[in-house]
Amino acid sequence: MREARFEVLVRAVGAPLHRYLVRRAEPAAADDVLAETMLVLWRRLDDVPNLSDRAEVDPDQVLPWCYGVARGCLANARRADRRRLRLVDKLARTASPPGERTEHADLYDALRTLGEVDREVVMLWAWEGLAPQEIAEVTTLTANAVSIRLHRAKKKLAAELERKNGATAGQEQVKRGSEL
């Protein structure tokens, strides 16, 4: 019975958790952290909210809690890496050879100007499609704190992108006099 519940959970959250981790860690590390996350989910199967003995589970009901577990496992992996290798955390970075611009490099540069928690809030909102209440469950912040951080972070990102590009972020510039 326990194995069947776990299989239902893995089918519901496996792919979203993998995408979540790939965006935040090197691909090889993401697979290791996913394995550790699944081990924790197995151990804490009875703690997963809204997980029943039914054959199906609503991912929206269990994913925020599972994202929180994955986030904790990722933090543990990062602490271990710093102890062993003293590497700099590469969250939200894209490494590129000098002189080569990566796709959306300005956005990644702007994201790096945010604090770690604000960057995580923005990424959970933008990439994982979570609502402030769900982000609060992942980050252990209150929903109100998430909303405030998200609002401020989006304003800071827009200002940073506008400063870099010289244009209002997200809007095309129309040249005056170019119309007939």
CATH code (residue 138): 1.10.10.10
* CA–CA gap between residue 150 and residue 146 (Å, rounded): 6
How many CA atoms are closer than 13 Å to the CA of 64, on its beta-carbon side?
20
Tokens of 60: 């929206």
| Chosen domain end from 61, 91, 121 | 91
Q: What is the mean pLDDT of the chain?
A: 81
Q: Are residues 71 and 144 in the same domain?
A: no
Q: Is residue 33 part of a domain?
A: yes
Instruction: State the CATH number of the domain containing residue 2.
Output: 1.10.1740.10
Verify that 131 and 75 share a domain, yes or no.
Answer: no
For residue 128 the two structure tokens come to 């994982």
Domain that holds residue 126: 97-168
Count structural domains, the chain.
2
pLDDT over 70 for what percent of the chain? 78
CA distance readout (Å), 101 to 29, 53, 98: 25, 50, 8
pLDDT in tens, 83-116: 765 433 333 444 444 444 566 778 888 888 999 9
Query: Are the beta carbons of 109 and 119 closer than 8 angstroms?
Result: no
What pLDDT was estimated at residue 1? Answer: 81
Residues 13 and 79 in one domain: yes
pLDDT at 22: 94
Q: Is residue 175 a part of any domain in this protein? A: no
The 10s digit of each residue's pLDDT in 35-92 is 999 999 999 998 888 787 766 888 888 999 999 999 999 999 988 877 765 433 333 4
Together in a domain, 86 and 145: no
Find where tokens 């602490």 sit: 79
For position 105, what pLDDT does the model report? Answer: 79
- On whether both 56 and 125 belong to a single domain, the answer is no
pTM of the model: 0.56
> Which of these, 86, 108, 107, lies nearest to 95 by C-alpha position?
108
CA separation for the pair 167, 133 (Å, rounded): 33
List pLDDT tens digits, range 7-24: 989 999 999 999 999 999
Is residue 180 domain-resident? no
Amino acid occupying residue 31 = D
